[in-house]
Amino acid sequence: MEQLDILWEYQELDLIVDQYENDIKNSASRKQLLKLKKYLVDRDQYLVKLDEEANSKTDDFDRILREFESIQDTMANITKKAGSGEVKSLDEIEQMLKEGLLLQDKLKKNESELRKLINELNSFEKELEDILAKVAQAKKEFARIKKEYDNEVEKIKQEQGEVKAKRDMLAANIDKALLAKYNNLKITRTPVIAVLENDQCSGCFMSLASLVVQNVKDRKRIVECENCGRLLYYRN
C-alpha cells in the first residue's frame, strides 16, 4: 500500500525531528544552566536566612550593650554616693560593696557576650562577602553558557526546520485520516509504524496470526498489531 510507504518515510523524518528536540533537552550546556540556576536559587534562599540571623544577632548586641551601659551608670552612681560622704552606716557600705561586686560580675558577663557577638557578626560578614563573590562568578558563568546554549539551539532549530519542511511536504500526500491516526498513536507508541519481521510485530515482538501476517504482506489495507495497536508495515 503506497500510503503506508509514504507514511513510513514520513515517520523516518518525524523521528529525526524528535531527535533534534531531544538533542536540545539533553544538551550539556542546558544541564549546566539548570545546575547553575539551582545553585543561584539556593544561594538566594541561604542569603535571606543569613540576613535574618545577622539581624537577630545585631538586635542581641544592641540589647546587651544598653544593659552594659545602664550597669555602668548604676556603678558610677554608687561610686559617687560612696565618695560623697552621705553614707554613714557600716551596713550601708557593706550593702553598696555587695551590689558593686554583683554589678561588676554582670558587666564581665555582658562584655564577654558582646565580644562573642562581634566575632559572630564578623564571621557573618566574611561569609556574606564570600557568597556574594561566588554568586557573581556563577552569574557570569551563567551568562556565558546561556550564550553558547542559545547559539546551539539556534543551529539545531535550523537543521530541524529543514527536516520538518521535508516531512511536511510528504504530509501533503498522506490521507488526512491516516495522518491523524498516526499522530494520535504517537502520543503513546513511538515509533508508530512497526515493521513485520519473522511474522512478529517489531514494536511489541508479539507473534502474529498467519491471517494477519498475510494481510500485512498483501499491502492492500492498513493492518494494526492486535497487541500494541501499531501500524504494521511490510517491506518487500
Least distance from C-beta 220 to Zn ion, angstroms?
A: 20
Q: Looking at beta carbons only, is 55 or 227 nearer to Zn ion?
A: 227
Q: Looking at beta carbons only, is 173 or 227 nearer to Zn ion?
A: 227
Least distance from C-beta 234 to Zn ion, angstroms?
A: 14
- The half-sphere exposure of 203 on its side-chain side, counting CA atoms within 13 A, is 21
224 DSSP β-pair partners? 231
Residue 156: all three cell numbers together: 539545531
Q: Looking at beta carbons only, is 71 or 201 nearer to Zn ion?
A: 201
Least distance from C-beta 177 to Zn ion, angstroms?
A: 21
Least distance from C-beta 203 to Zn ion, angstroms?
A: 4
Q: Looking at beta carbons only, is 13 or 208 nearer to Zn ion?
A: 208
Q: Looking at beta carbons only, is 201 or 223 nearer to Zn ion?
A: 201
Residues in contact with Zn ion by the rule CB under 5 A: 201, 203-204, 225, 227-228, 230
Q: Looking at beta carbons only, is 71 or 192 nearer to Zn ion?
A: 192
Least distance from C-beta 229 to Zn ion, angstroms?
A: 7
Least distance from C-beta 221 to Zn ion, angstroms?
A: 17
Least distance from C-beta 4 to Zn ion, angstroms?
A: 15
Q: Looking at beta carbons only, is 179 or 201 nearer to Zn ion?
A: 201
Separation between Cα atoms, residue 61 and residue 121, nearest integer Å: 10
One-character DSSP codes across the chain:
-HHHHHHHHHHHHHHHHHHHHHHHHT-HHHHHHHHHHHHHHHHHHHHHHHHHHHHHHHHHHHHHHHHHHHHHHHHHHHHHHHHHT----HHHHHHHHHHHHHHHHHHHHHHHHHHHHHHHHHHHHHHHHHHHHHHHHHHHHHHHHHHHHHHHHHHHHHHHHHHHHHHHHHHTTS-HHHHHHHHHHHTT-SSSEEEEETTEETTT-PBPPHHHHHHHHHTSS-EE-TTT-PEEE---
With the CA atoms of 41, 47, 48 and 51 taken in that order, what torsion angle do they form, in degrees rounded to the nearest 10? -170
